[in-house]
Amino acid sequence: MTNLFRLFRHPEDLRDLTPDELQEKLISNPVVIDVRTTREFEAGHIAGAVSIPLGQESSAITRWPADADVVLICKTGHRSQAAAATLLRQGFRQVSHLKGGMDAWRRASKPVV
């Protein structure tokens, strides 16, 4: 149980973004990684997001530099926190996530493709 708690706790260096903040941030073209399952991603995602299901996010280390501006997304914000912890341990320095996940994005009537 302790390991599960550690997996989903909020990393200190992780910045929470509201749907409005993320929509503004998208103008600067950050790397948007959606860590939901492929099925969830295909049912609707943020334009420009890349699907890398939770557990595979370490592949990001070979796709983008450590100084890339990375935003993580999941359904509720919990899986994205876990993925963020992995990326931060791997040396990524600009990691944020959508607080409340796609549920919050949809509640805020933001666009989904």
List pLDDT tens digits, range 6-40: 444 455 678 999 999 999 999 999 999 999 999 99
Exposed, middle or buried, 68 (CB in 10 Å: 0-12/13-18/19+)?
A: middle
Q: What is the pLDDT of residues 51-61, one digit of tens each?
A: 999 988 777 77
Res 99 pLDDT > 80? yes
92 Cα distance to chain centroid: 13
pLDDT tens digits, one per residue of 68-87 = 999 999 999 999 999 998 89
pTM: predicted TM-score of the whole model, two decimal places: 0.86
Q: Which of 60, 70, 74, 82 is catalytic?
A: 74
CB 96 within 8 A of CB 16: yes
Is 74 among the residues known to form the active site?
Answer: yes
Domain ranges of the chain: 2-107
The CATH number given to 2-107 is 3.40.250.10
